[in-house]
Structure 1
Amino acid sequence: MAGGPTLIGSVQRALHLLDAVGASERPVTAKALARAVGLPLPTTYHLLRTLVHEGYLCRLDDGYVLGEQVTGLRRRNGRQALLPRIRPVLRALRDELHAAAYLSLYSGGEIRLIDVVDGPATPSVDLWVGVHEAAHATAFGKCILSCLDAEGRRAYLAQARLADLTPNTITDARVLEQRLAESGDVFNDREEYLLGTACLATPVRAPGVIGAIAISLPARRLRSAQPLSLRRASARVSRTFAMTP
């Protein structure tokens, strides 16, 4: 009979210490933590030193508090926790338009692809060039660039190389700026990232959030795509972000 999973005791003990510190509203001393977790004091000190060194705890004069690594995880994963509420919107968009659906966000000065909903009949684009490096050639990248203020966009484009990915890729920053200004609230990629593939995107906006909802489909079907459906999906996702503290 197979036994239970192999567990690493030191990891368990370190996690228990993190839980104990996180459960307290005030700094917790090493002696109090040792009692709370049921560990010998020398072992507790050893684990606490490691957690402080790695940034998961911070040692103050009167005890230990959670460190920057933990608060950073909270910030980074807060939006990820919304995916169960956002995924149905992307799935409905995929099924309605028969196209792969994407959510991307601007975070930390970079454009990040957060989620993709595709299927056997609606395959996603092979992202052979990184999303951040190809913002000028993707619909959601251009959409997010349009949402940045002029200074932020200039700073982004100054450090970006407008790589020539296909014969249709815009590689002149001035032409790109003009296209962004002319696009309204729906942005397209007409075989600029990948020949044979087109994309549409529209902004996701909420306090502290800049992003885009996008779809990809064969270029021959671009005219049949319904921007209204895309706008409805982005409005729903924007409300989800706006309602989350």
Structure 2
Amino acid sequence: ALGKSILAQLPAPEREDYLARHPLNDLTPHTVVDRRRLRDRLPAPDALAVDDEEYAVGVRCLAAPVTTADGVGSLGVVTSPASLRRDVPRQRLRSCASRVSRALSLG
């Protein structure tokens, strides 16, 4: 989810350059290794990204964008699939990412 969040925030030329230079490795049966499918699964630049056992079986991740004038980043939460389905603090994660963005912009 962290990678999806960061890729989604990049301008299209930078995103395409990154994808052209880095292979998509098949880590689990759920990993997206087709660039077109990955592009289709990227969230909106300001939305949360979800990794549904794509990096590791039994692990889910939720990530929120962190942006500054100098670049992009992401703040993520890693948990079990069951925990992410039950009670995901989505708004809290967005709020924290926004606070991190502001704090980095002030420095």
Q: TM-score range by the shorter chain?
A: over 0.9
- The letter for the 1-side match of 2:93 is L
**Is the contact between residue 46 and residue 65 of structure 2 (CA under 8 Å) also seen in structure 1?**
no
Q: Name the TM-score, length of structure 1 as normaliser.
A: 0.42
Q: Name the TM-score, length of structure 2 as normaliser.
A: 0.94
Q: Tell whether 2:79 aligns with 1:185.
A: no
**Is the contact between residue 143 and residue 201 of structure 1 (CA under 8 Å) also seen in structure 2?**
yes
**Is the contact between residue 209 and residue 241 of structure 1 (CA under 8 Å) also seen in structure 2?**
no
Divergent runs of 4+, >2 A: 181-184
**Is the contact between residue 5 and residue 43 of structure 2 (CA under 8 Å) also seen in structure 1?**
no
| Cα distance in 2 for residues equivalent to 1:143 and 1:207 | 17
Count residues with an aligned counterpart.
Answer: 106
Larger radius of gyration: 1
Structure 1 residue runs of 5 or longer lacking an equivalent are 1-138
Q: Tell whether 2:68 aligns with 1:206.
A: yes
Q: Tell whether 2:19 aligns with 1:165.
A: no
Which of 67, 76, 83 is the equivalent residue of 1:221? 83
Structure 2 residue runs of 5 or longer lacking an equivalent are none
- The letter for the 1-side match of 2:32 is I
Higher-RCO chain (CA-CA 8 Å, sequence separation at least 6): 2
RMSD, aligned α-carbons: 1.4
**Is the contact between residue 189 and residue 200 of structure 1 (CA under 8 Å) also seen in structure 2?**
yes
Q: Which residue of 2 aligns with 1:55?
A: none
Taking every aligned residue pair, what percent have the same amino acid on both sides?
A: 39
Structure number with the higher helix fraction is 1
| Cα distance in 2 for residues equivalent to 1:182 and 1:192 | 19
SS at match of 2:73: strand
